[in-house]
Chain A
Amino acid sequence: MFLKTLRIRNFMPFKGWHQIDFPGSDTKNVVIVFGDNMRGKTSLLNAIRWAFYQNALDRYGEKIPLQKLVNSDAAGEDEWDLEVQVSFEHDNKQYEISSRAEKRRGVGTPNRPEDFVVATDLQINGEVVRGDRVAHEINRVVPEQISRFFLFDGELLQEYESLLADDGDQGKRIKEAIEQALGVPTLISGKNELRALRKPYDRQWQQDLKKNQEVKSFMEELSALTKRSEDLEEAKAKLQDQLSSAKHQYQELQQQVNAAEARYKQKAELDQYVSSRTKVSQQIEQIELRKLESVRDAWLDVLRPDLERQTRDLRSQAAADALVLAEIAKAPHLREMAQSSLDSGVCSLCQSELSTESRQILLGVHGSGETAGEIDRVATRFAESNQLANRLDGVRYPQAKKRIAELDATAMDLSLEETRLASEIDRLRDELQGFDSDETNRVRRAAENANAAIRTLEAKFSQVDEELEKINTKQQSLRLVINQNESAKNQRSGKIVDLISTAEGIFASAVGMMRDDLRMDIQEKATSAFKQLTTDTSYKGLRINQNYGLTIVDEKDRDVSLRSAGAEQIVALSLIDGLNQTGRSTGPVIMDTPFGRLDPRHRSRVLQYLPKSANQVVLFVHEGEVDPERDLMQINSKIGAVFALERVSSSQTKVVRK
């Protein structure tokens, strides 16, 4: 199987039509789709799953109700229909699958899956496949049971680690899923059907031998055991019904709990945003206070140009006065020069005409009646100018304008952040409308009680099963004893019972043998993958346990008990690869967020291994787990296309080819 295109309409965050074309190259067989959290990576995985099996799963492996798959904006416009089309090639044939869901006529706002009409069309080489054959044809190419291995959600990797535990619900569930996918239940149901087939012949045989006195006591014992066995079968059937009902109830409750947990996560996110916004608002308030503080002495800045100009003028005046006073202090000949200058009206030094002011100064120099007064006046002015200039020089200007500009720039950045946070808070509040944490706690307790009830029923079920097994063994022994009697041996009914019992034994052994073979096969394939993925060369491989859990084995064949989170993920990825290759011949591997806990070296190993592990690899990742530049360089020659999931709004995403 080789994917060619995926087209989706109104599916989860994808409003209207969106398309991904998978490149047809065998060598460039990796497609990367980048998308931040909440942008729709898992929705794309679900779109493919839904096209094949009309089934979409949430992060807890629970089925998402159909009405929740319709894009909320489209639903808001009363467009309650969605469609997913997948085209692919398999065995040189072209397959076109189109799955659609439409609101049932007469339904207002759909609130349950039954409010929709769902249809899947399949064309092979352009020929329409009959409706009742569609599911069969799809399952022939991509069996639903193994879809969890090739439509793979990395967030669920941890589930596979629970296989290492000897018991536990999750491990048991995964084990059942693995065995289901690999065909074990076929043998088990064969064994059960044989047992059911044997019962009427058993009764007939006992009837036939009623009058045989030699085996009478054995027959009575066998009859009693058969009666007890029948009672137990009846009790077992009842327990089975109760268990199914309890499991169904638990699943429904768990679904609500899971949904609530997602809401709790959102609630925590909302609280975080609210706290961040409060901090940002406080920072903005602080900045406003600091701005206000900057204005306190800003009046001095307003006067600065005038006061500084005034200071410069005072300094110039003082300098000129100092010059005059210095000249006055010089020798008496200056007086003569002054007299001469005064007499001629022309300066003896520079030959320029005397100004009134110069004349006044020279009069002082000459020593006329006004000389002493003039010197005092110049000296006083010199002192006052200097004194005032010094005081003005001492003024400290706060330079408020610069400070306010810096604070404004910071406030602007904070204000943008506050707006962004406010919009996230609004979005989350909208999404959390109607969320009631008390109700959630009630549901959580109810789910815990239902789970406890299941455990009790399962324990009773196991007891009944064990007793039935003991009775069965005892019955077998009694039959052997009875068959020693010639007359009993020749009864036709006895021969049939014997034949069916033998067949039952064969099936029972076959189940064990098949399990062992599967385990060895998976261990071998997972070990091969593990050796290429791990960065630690001292590891010899992996060992599988009864639950299909894998343990790392070191070079001395010892189990490695302590594993890092990254190593756990590598082991789980190896198991997935082993299961995938055991379950089918070839096909694409589509993985959502598979690199979550890997360090860069392991990430690099996985990126290099994946193109070799399948004929086509599609990875839905975020930039935190795969660096678009550095990581992709390593497999550049294998990359056929890169897409990005870009946000249109909180409820819409678009697919963009990079």
Chain B
Amino acid sequence: MSEPTQSTQAVDPAQIGIGEVAHYNLERLYADKHFPEMRNAYKFAIAYALSKGARPTKLESSRKNVFSISTIDPDGLLRLAIETLYPVGDESPYRIAERLADWGVGEVTRLVYEEYKSIGDLLPDA
């Protein structure tokens, strides 16, 4: 169990992004109607990475801004989840979110297009 902490040192960015390759895959997942909107795919990828215990240290390709923070996390739930499940330290949880999304999109894309899984298949049993 991680100690509940509230990061105050890092300043949150206004925009949140993802690597260019992952962005391409994000668009593909949305265009192929696996998600109603791109931001849903983005958050799903973050959650998938967190659930798999991923600790990515960098983006796999050059960064690209995609969403504003207020769009992607209007209720602060994403921040809460990251702060609860990830050793945030002094870093802004949204910077961590970018790396998690970058990693997660790669995994989800691989599972959907190479292993022919549906998004329902990737969800844990209730």
Q: How large is the interface on A (under 10, 10 to 19, 20 to 34, 35 or more residues)?
A: 35 or more
A384 interface contact, C-beta 8 A:
yes
In the complex, the answer to whether B51 meets A303 with C-beta atoms within 8 Å is yes
In the complex, the answer to whether A288 meets B33 with C-beta atoms within 8 Å is yes
Instruction: Find A295's partner among B1, B119, B126 (CB 8 Å cutoff).
Output: B119
26 A-B pairs whose Cβ atoms sit less than 8 Å apart in the complex: A292-B35, A295-B36, A295-B40, A299-B40, A299-B43, A299-B47, A301-B123, A301-B126, A302-B48, A302-B50, A302-B122, A302-B124, A303-B47, A303-B50, A303-B51, A303-B85, A305-B124, A310-B84, A314-B1, A314-B4, A388-B4, A392-B84, A399-B126, A401-B124, A401-B125, A408-B120
B119 contact set on A, CB distance < 8 A: 295, 298, 404
In the complex, the answer to whether A402 meets B126 with C-beta atoms within 8 Å is yes
Smallest Cβ-Cβ distance to B85: which chain A residue: A306
Give the CA-CA distance A251 to B125 in the complex, in Å.
71
> Which 8 pairs across A and B sit closest by C-beta, in order of nearness?
A302-B47, A299-B47, A404-B120, A401-B123, A313-B1, A299-B43, A299-B44, A384-B4
B77 interface contact, C-beta 8 A:
yes
Query: 8 Å CB contacts to A: which residues of B1-46?
Result: 1, 4, 33-37, 40, 43-44, 46
Chain A interface secondary structure, helix, strand, loop or mixed?
helix
Give the CA-CA distance A307 to B86 in the complex, in Å.
11
A575 interface contact, C-beta 8 A:
no
Smallest Cβ-Cβ distance to A302: which chain B residue: B47
B54 interface contact, C-beta 8 A:
no
In the complex, the answer to whether B50 meets A298 with C-beta atoms within 8 Å is no
In the complex, the answer to whether A296 meets B120 with C-beta atoms within 8 Å is no
A401 contact set on B, CB distance < 8 A: 120, 123-126
Given known contacts A303-B85, A399-B126, A408-B120, A295 and B34 CB-to-CB distance under 8 angstroms: yes
Interface membership of chain A positions 585-598, coded 1 if the CB is closer than 8 angstroms to chain B and 0 otherwise: 00000000000000
Give the CA-CA distance A304 to B40 in the complex, in Å.
16
B44 contact set on A, CB distance < 8 A: 295, 298-299, 302
CB distance from B16 to the nearest CB of A (A): 14
Give the CA-CA distance A381 to B3 in the complex, in Å.
9
Query: 8 Å CB contacts to B: which residues of A299-324?
Result: 299-307, 310, 313-314, 317
A293 contact set on B, CB distance < 8 A: 36
Instruction: Find B47's partner among A292, A300, A313 (CB 8 Å cutoff).
Output: A300
A405 interface contact, C-beta 8 A:
yes
A395 interface contact, C-beta 8 A:
yes
A230 interface contact, C-beta 8 A:
no
Q: Which one of A293, A300, A381 has the greatest number of beta carbons of chain B within 10 Å?
A: A300
Give the CA-CA distance A291 to B118 in the complex, in Å.
11
CB distance from A654 to the nearest CB of B (A): 41
